[in-house]
Structure 1
Amino acid sequence: MRISTQMLYQMSNNDLTNMQGQLLKLNQQVSAGQKVLVPSDDPVSSARALDLNQSQALNDQYKINRQNANSSLAQVASTLSSFTDMLTKLKSDGIKAGNQSFSNAERANLAAELKGNFQEVLGYANATDGQGNYLFSGFKSTTQPFTLDGNGNAVYNGDQGSMTLQVDSTRQMEISASGQSIFQGNGQDIFQTMNNLISVLSVPVTEAANNADETAANTFEYPAGTGQFPIQAYKTAQATLDATDPNDPTYAAKFSAAAAAKLKSDAADAARTPVVGSQAALTRQLAQFGTQFDAMINNVGTATASVGARQNELDSLDAAGLVKNENYTATINNLLGRNTSDVSELISDLTLKQTYLAAAQKVFVSTSSLTLLNYLK
């Protein structure tokens, strides 16, 4: 078979062109740091890598959502912590105001202070997040949850829902709360309670009221219609006991009688209503406030624990999301040939192709310059 000079030239030129094309492709792969540049290089791996890229993008978005959720929950937790401190302070103020050595002027000053505390609590209830959304409006995040009516009473304008964020593929997390459940939950309205406490502390304790209350206590018939006056009976029994020498043989019997009378007296005292303006009325009312504050502290404590649990869950989801992201990256690198071993292989192929091309070009130059005239003498 004869091979013409033209054919030889054309074949060599085609080979050089193919090798240059391969070299160009290798250069692009080395520059990109991966084997698969276009889907046609490996359709199956490209399709799988695309799916994983989309999953990784979702995982990244969930991470952003978790950061936003954690930010909102941190603000909720901070607000609840401040509110708990305020409730503790209010309970302490109630105990302090019940001290008989506390003067009317001091109680009036405390009432004035509580008016400022009322506005502070209202601020907690109307707290917002970094984007200006209200934390305690439920789904109505742009509506101020608590406003005051003409009588100074707090009115809730939100709903019973809670804003949520998708923090993982199968988890939607609440990032807000209903202000009514926290500030007016379980039948305990902090705003009404504070207003009532201010009113109670504004009423002065007078000697006349104390005297009237003592008279009313001594003449309080309990149970009604029995002709028994347990409070006066206890005072008599206690006075008799106090006047008896402990070494007296009758002391034990008198002690038992006074103890029994005390139980009946306490029951009678709990059943009666003290005279307004008396120390007894103040003590009774402040004790009730203390019970209410305890209930509120427990209610807020439950909400705070719930927020803490969600923050812990976010930490766990973050850790799991980081593992997912690393797995996605490793799998995509394997599919697209981005690993160090893949790039090293590409560099070796590039060096080898460059050597082949240089040799082919040298052969082409030699063969393309051949002529019969060189062999004629």
Structure 2
Amino acid sequence: MRISTQMLYQISNNDLTNMQSQILKLNQQVTAGQKVLVPSDDPVNAARALDMTQTQALNTQYETNRKNANSSLAQVSSTLSSFTDMLTKLKSDVIKAGNQSFSNSERANLASELKSNFQEVLGYANATDGQGNYLFSGFKSTTQPFTLDGNGNAVYNGDQGTMSLQVDSTRQMDISASGQAIFQGNGQDIFQTMNNLISVLSVPVTEAANKADEQAANTFEYPAGSGQFPIQAYKTAQATLDATDPSDPNYAANFSAAAAAKLKSDAADAARTPVAGSQASLTRKLATFNGAFNTMIDNVGTVSASVGSRQNELDSLDAAGKVKDQNYTASINDMLGRNTADVSELISDLTLKQTYLSAAQKVFVSTSSLTLLNYLK
């Protein structure tokens, strides 16, 4: 078959154009650092890489959600820690106020201090996060959870819900707590308790009330209608024991009698109501407050432990999320040809193609200059 000069030029030109196109594509791939630039380069891996990129984006969003969740839980934890410190301080005040050497004026000063503490606790209950949302309002995060009515009692305006965030593909986590469960939970209302404590400490202890209470205790019949007066009987038994020398043969019998009388006396004392304004009345009421604060401390401790557990879980999810992200990146790099070996292969192909193009251009120049006129004399 005869090939015309024009056809030779056309074939050579097409070959050079194709080689330049291949070099241009290789340059683009080397510049981008990956083999697959468009889906047509590798439809299957391009589609898989797109799906995995979307999955990785979700994983990144979960990471953002975990940061937000951790921030909210950290604020809840900090508030609960401050509240626990306040409850411990209140318990200490109760013990201090029960000391018989404490004067009425000292108790009145303590009551005034507790009024300031009341406002501090109210501040904890109405704490907000960095965006101004209330931590303890449940789902009603823009509503102030606790307000005071006309009598100074705290009213809860939130609900029993808890805000939550999706922190992983299969985990939705609570990031708040119900204020009513914390500050008014388990039958213990911190606001009402503090108001009651302030009222109790404001009542002075008088000598007249102490004497009236002592007389009432000595004449308290228990059980009712039994004709027995256990408190007075215990005092008599104890006085007899105190007057008995330990070497006396009757000491053991007197000791046993006093111990038995003490048990009956304690039961009788628990059954009676001390005279208002007496030290006994104050001691009885303070013991109730002491038990209430213990219950509150335990309640807040349970919530704090739950918050801490969730923070630990977030740390674990973060660590797992980072591993997932690295795995996603590695898989996408494999699918799109972004690894070092892939780029090295592209550079090698580019160098080879450039060498081929240079050689082809030289051959084309040499062949295109051939003519029969060069051989005519």
Please report the TM-score for the alignment, with normalisation by the length of structure 1.
0.99
SS state at 1:329 partner: helix
% identical aligned pairs:
87
CA distance in 1, matches of 2:246, 2:169: 77
Match of 2:197 in 1: 197
Match of 1:108 in 2: 108
CA distance in 2, matches of 1:372, 1:235: 146
Match of 1:292 in 2: 292
Report 1:71-110 matches (<5 A).
Answer: 71-110=71-110
Query: Aligned pair count?
Result: 377
- The alpha carbon displacement at 1:4 in A equals 0.6
Report 1:8-27 matches (<5 A).
Answer: 8-27=8-27
**2:225 is equivalent to residue 246 of structure 1:** no
Match of 1:57 in 2: 57
Give the letter aligned to residue 270 of structure 2. A
- The alpha carbon displacement at 1:362 in A equals 0.8
Q: What is the CA deviation profile of residues 247-286 of structure 1, one whole-angstrom value per residue up to 9, with x for unaligned ones?
A: 1111111111111111100000000000111000001000
Unpaired segments ≥5 residues, structure 1:
none
CA distance in 2, matches of 1:20, 1:246: 118
Runs of 4+ with >3 A deviation: none
Give the letter aligned to residue 258 of structure 2. A
Match of 2:181 in 1: 181
Give the letter aligned to residue 89 of structure 1. K
Report 1:222-371 matches (<5 A).
Answer: 222-371=222-371
- The alpha carbon displacement at 1:211 in A equals 0.5
Match of 1:3 in 2: 3
CA distance in 2, matches of 1:323, 1:255: 73
- Over the aligned positions, Cα root-mean-square deviation in angstroms equals 0.6
SS state at 1:185 partner: coil
CA distance in 1, matches of 2:86, 2:215: 38
CA distance in 1, matches of 2:36, 2:327: 19
SS state at 1:167 partner: strand
Give the letter aligned to residue 293 of structure 1. F
CA distance in 1, matches of 2:244, 2:317: 73
- The alpha carbon displacement at 1:371 in A equals 1.4
CA distance in 2, matches of 1:153, 1:234: 43
Q: What is the CA deviation profile of residues 323-369 of structure 1, one whole-angstrom value per residue up to 9, with x for unaligned ones?
A: 10000000000000000000000000000010001111111111112
Give the letter aligned to residue 295 of structure 1. T
CA distance in 2, matches of 1:337, 1:240: 100
Q: What is the CA deviation profile of residues 223-264 of structure 1, one whole-angstrom value per residue up to 9, with x for unaligned ones?
A: 001111110111111111111112111111111111111110
Unpaired segments ≥5 residues, structure 2:
none
CA distance in 2, matches of 1:212, 1:14: 121
SS state at 2:241 partner: helix
CA distance in 1, matches of 2:251, 2:179: 59
Give the letter aligned to residue 173 of structure 1. M
**2:157 is equivalent to residue 157 of structure 1:** yes
SS state at 1:221 partner: coil
